[in-house]
Each structure stands twice: as C-alpha cells, then as structure tokens.
Amino acid sequence: MAITLVNPSGLPEIEVYRQVSIASGSRLVFIAGQVAWDTKGVTVGEGDLAAQVEQCYLNIGTALDEVGGSFDDVAKLTVHVVDWTPGKMPSLLEGISRAAAKLGITPVPPATLLGVAALDVPDHLVEIEAIAILD
C-alpha cells in the first residue's frame, strides 16, 4: 500500500477522515469528479443526497479497481455539494457509510468539502474527485 494516513498531534482528530496522507508510490491516479451516474449515464437517487454520495463512492471504487487500486490507495478526496449547509452532513455521512459497507472499506483519506452553486446538470447534488497513489 502506497498511502499512510496520519492524524498529527496538535490537529483535531476527525472521525470521518485523517488530516494527512503520506504517499510512497510511483504512479499517480487522478479520477475525474464522479457524479451519481450508473453505467448507462442515468442519475441515481434524484433529489437524494445520501444515495448520490453512495453512487459517487461506488463509481470511484470502480475506477480504482480498473487501474488495480482500491480506496486504500486514495491520498485525497474533494467533495463538491450543491447548496451546502451543515444540516446536510447527516445525509453525506449516510451515503459514505452505505458505500463503505458495500465496498468493504473504511474511507478516511484527507478530504475537502466545498459548497458549490451548481454542478453539470441540475439533477446532480454532489461530485467527488479522488487522487490515488499506486506502487
């Protein structure tokens, strides 16, 4: 595994992600922002943030698997949520939890959460991009 995740002393310990990732691999993998599309390009979970987050994570898992990686190789996630408010956090976490259960993972790489005005189409509520490092 090319990634070591760390919560340095002196920084808050956040349950759902680690503050730092240390990469030792040699291949960088940049995964385009994933939205809640199924394999046919149909939006999954219209109007349901948790369902869309889950699909985004599953899509990232598919992309990683295709290149010989897994969530253990993810160095950084960036999450873009339309019209973000702190009240949406439970739905975000529910979607992550459901995807983690399906993928058999504990997804805790460093992450940035950004509120945005809109995404590519009005049906999409979230887009998640990933950077991974492979040996």
79-116 tens-digit pLDDT = 999 999 999 999 999 999 999 999 999 988 999 999 99
Contact present, 112 and 79 (Cβ < 8 Å)? yes
The answer on pLDDT for 14 being more than 90 is no
In the chain, % helix, strand, coil (3-state, to 5) comes to: 30, 30, 40
Q: How many other C-beta atoms are found inside a 10 Å radius of the C-beta of residue 118? A: 10
In Å, how far from its chain's centre is CA 82? 15
Q: 3-6 and 74-82 as β-strands: parallel, antiparallel, unpaired? A: unpaired
What is residue 15's predicted lDDT score, i.e. its pLDDT?
82
Three-state secondary-structure class, residue 130? strand
| Six-digit token string for 126 | 């979230």
pTM score above 0.85? yes
Q: Which helix (H) or strand (E) holds 106?
A: none
Nearest-5° Cα angle at 61, 7 to 29: 70
Pair 34, 58: CB distance under 8 Å: no
pLDDT tens digits, one per residue of 17-68: 899 999 888 999 999 999 999 999 999 999 999 999 999 999 999 999 999 9
